[in-house]
């Protein structure tokens, strides 16, 4: 998700410092960005000149300290509350006092993430959709302490990036995943109980309800680890057993079958040649 956000921001004229603690992920991100800009030129969505200018606006580092000059940070690390809190604790010390810290979390409380910082009024949720260059929505989440000014800045930034905003209260799963993820989880129950094959479940939902892709294919695309984390946030945050994660989803994640990003999830994907 970080790669997609960086691509869109750079195309809209913003300087971007892309940061990932895993150098392999950073390399993949740079390669994917080069490919994306090339494809955009080939499809005549971007001129060669604009693609080169956008590429020049992105710098990459595996050291969080590189974010020191940033005015606005959008965190998009794994969907894990303790990792996000640890990252925000560090970011709070690294970036200048007036900088805004946003989280691309799909489900985790912005209020709790903000509470580890000394700038909780300057922390906001900006939930981009996947793939970021294609999907038109940013769901903005105000923590209990998020100021009006910071909300307005996050909204203006989203709109500058060409996105439409919806505003959600800071509740588990917010709006989009409160509704979407139980459907994905139910698709895993349907698969586990043998009601249909993966292909039939996806075909049924795609053609029968006019979704662009079936829920199991969507889960592979999102990342099964992310789907499971969101279900755990919904389950833990509401205490409602209707949100319990499907054991088959748990087992796939235990097996490391995390979806398209590792070429194996519900389905198997061919690895690119280079
Ligand atoms: N995948 C989706 O469809 C989707 C959609 C909307 C929002 N999100 C949210 O975006 C976030 C990222 O999801 P993703 O699918 O891109 O995950 P991902 O696993 O593909 O990428 C996460 C990246 O964060 C890096 N990372 C982990 N800890 C770090 C740290 N402390 N410092 C720096 N880098 C660190 C990892 O190396 C990895 O490259 C999550 O909060 C997720 O809920 C995901």
The confidence band for 272, taking pLDDT boundaries of 50, 70 and 90, is confident
Residue 274 CA to residue 263 CA, distance in Å, equals 14
Is 211 marked active-site?
no
Structure tokens at 158: 């989203």
| 258 within 8 A of 225, measured Cβ to Cβ | yes
Probe target for ligand 1 pocket from 77, 168, 256, with the most ligand atoms within 8 Å of CB: 77
Strand-pairing partners, residue 73, are 101
Among 29, 104, 106, 229, which one carries the catalytic annotation? 106
Strand-pairing partners, residue 134, are none
Of residues 269, 4, 2, 8, the one with CA closest to residue 158: 8
Residue 2 Cα to ligand 1 midpoint, Å, equals 7
Is 127 marked active-site?
yes
Is residue 147 scored above 70 in pLDDT?
A: yes
| 126 within 8 A of 102, measured Cβ to Cβ | yes
Rounded average pLDDT over 254-264: 97
The pLDDT of residue 273: 72
Rounded average pLDDT over 123-151: 97
Of residues 184, 180, 223, 226, the one with CA closest to residue 83: 226
**Upstream peptide bond of 131 is cis (omega within 30 degrees of 0):** yes
Rounded average pLDDT over 139-154: 98
Probe target for ligand 1 pocket from 4, 212, 226, 265, with the most ligand atoms within 8 Å of CB: 226
pLDDT tens, residue by residue, 59-72: 999 999 999 999 99
Is residue 175 scored above 80 in pLDDT?
A: yes
The pLDDT of residue 21: 94
pLDDT tens, residue by residue, 34-68: 999 999 999 999 999 999 999 999 999 999 999 99
The pLDDT of residue 274: 62
Average pLDDT of every residue of the chain: 97
Residue 207 Cα to ligand 1 midpoint, Å, equals 30
Of residues 68, 80, 135, 142, the one with CA closest to residue 106: 80
CB atoms within 10 A of CB 105: 25
The pLDDT of residue 85: 98
Residue 40 Cα to ligand 1 midpoint, Å, equals 24
The pLDDT of residue 226: 96
């Amino acid at each position: 998700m970080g790669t997609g956000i960086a691509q869109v921001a750079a195309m809209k004229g913003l300087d971007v410092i892309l940061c990932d603690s895993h150098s392999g992920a950073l390399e993949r991100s740079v390669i994917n960005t080069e490919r994306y800009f090339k494809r955009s030129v080939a499809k005549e969505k971007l001129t060669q000149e604009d693609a080169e200018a956008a590429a020049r606006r992105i710098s990459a580092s595996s050291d969080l300290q590189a974010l020191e000059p940033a005015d606005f940070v959008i965190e998009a690390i794994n969907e894990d509350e303790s990792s996000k809190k640890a990252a925000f604790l560090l970011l709070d010390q690294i970036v200048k006092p007036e900088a805004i810290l946003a989280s691309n979390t799909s489900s985790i409380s912005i209020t709790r993430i903000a509470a580890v910082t000394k700038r909780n009024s300057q922390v906001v949720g900006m939930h981009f959709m996947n793939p970021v260059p294609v999907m038109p929505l940013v769901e903005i989440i105000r923590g209990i302490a998020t100021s009006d000014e910071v909300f307005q800045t996050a909204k203006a930034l989203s709109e500058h990036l060409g996105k439409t905003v919806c505003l959600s209260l800071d509740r588990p799963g917010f709006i989009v995943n409160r509704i979407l993820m139980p459907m994905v989880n139910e698709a895993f129950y349907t698969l586990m109980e043998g009601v249909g094959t993966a292909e039939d479940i996806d075909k049924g939902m795609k053609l029968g309800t006019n979704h662009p892709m079936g829920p199991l294919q969507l889960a592979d695309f999102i990342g099964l680890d992310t789907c499971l984390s969101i279900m755990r946030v919904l389950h833990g945050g509401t205490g409602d057993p209707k949100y319990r994660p499907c054991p088959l989803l748990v087992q796939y994640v235990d097996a490391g079958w995390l979806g398209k990003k590792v070429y194996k999830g519900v389905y198997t994907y061919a690895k690119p040649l280079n």
